[in-house]
Homo-oligomer: A and B are copies of this chain.
Amino acid sequence: MDSRNGSAPQIPLDAEMESFFDSAPPLKDSAGITQKLKEFIEFNSAPPGKGSPRRVVCVTSGGTTVPLEQRCVRYIDNFSSGHRGATSTEYFIKAGYAVIFLYRRGTFQPYCRSLPEDPLLECFECSDDSSIRVRQPYTEAVKRAISDHHAAVAGGHLLKLPFTTIFEYLQMLQTIAMSVRALGSHAVFYLAAAVSDFYVPWKSMAEHKIQSASGPMDMRLVQVPKMLSVLKKGWVPMAFCISFKLETDSKILLEKAEMALKKYGMHMVVANELSTRKEEVTVVTGNEKILVCCDKTQPDSDVEKPLIELIVGRHSAYVKDSDC
Contacts and interface: CB of A to CB of B under 8 A. Distances in A.
A165 to B, nearest CB: 11
Interface stretch (A243-251, A297-305, A306-314): A243-251
A208 interface: yes
A76 B216 CA distance: 15
A79 B72 contact: yes
A203 interface: no
B106 A120 contact: no
Contacts of A125: 146, 150
Q: Which of A117, A120, A145 has its CB near the most chain B CB atoms (within 10 A)?
A: A120
Contacts of A292: none
Interface string A128-150: 00101010000000110111011
Contacts of A324: none
B143 A120 contact: no
B143 A126 contact: yes
Nearest to A259: B213
Contacts of A74: 76-79, 196
B121 A117 contact: no
Question: Copies per complex?
Answer: 2
Q: DSSP class of A's interface residues: helix, strand, loop or mixed?
A: mixed
Given A125-B146, A126-B147, A218-B219, A79 B73 contact: yes
Interface residues of A, number: 60
A221 B134 CA distance: 46
A12 interface: no
B212 A197 contact: yes
A220 B209 contact: no
A111 B261 CA distance: 49
A280 to B, nearest CB: 18
B106 A115 contact: no
Interface in A203-228: 207-210, 212, 215-223
Nearest to A134: B132
Interface stretch (A25-33, A63-71, A93-101, A170-178): A63-71
27 contacts: A71-B248, A73-B78, A73-B79, A73-B248, A74-B76, A74-B196, A75-B76, A75-B77, A75-B79, A76-B77, A106-B106, A115-B120, A120-B120, A120-B123, A120-B142, A120-B145, A121-B145, A124-B142, A124-B146, A130-B143, A132-B134, A132-B143, A197-B210, A197-B212, A197-B217, A209-B247, A219-B219
Given A126-B143, A132-B143, A197-B210, 12 more contacts: A74-B78, A74-B79, A77-B77, A109-B121, A125-B146, A130-B147, A132-B142, A197-B217, A209-B247, A218-B219, A218-B220, A219-B220
Q: Which 4 A-B residue pairings sit nearest by Cβ, starting from the closest?
A: A197-B212, A126-B147, A71-B248, A119-B120
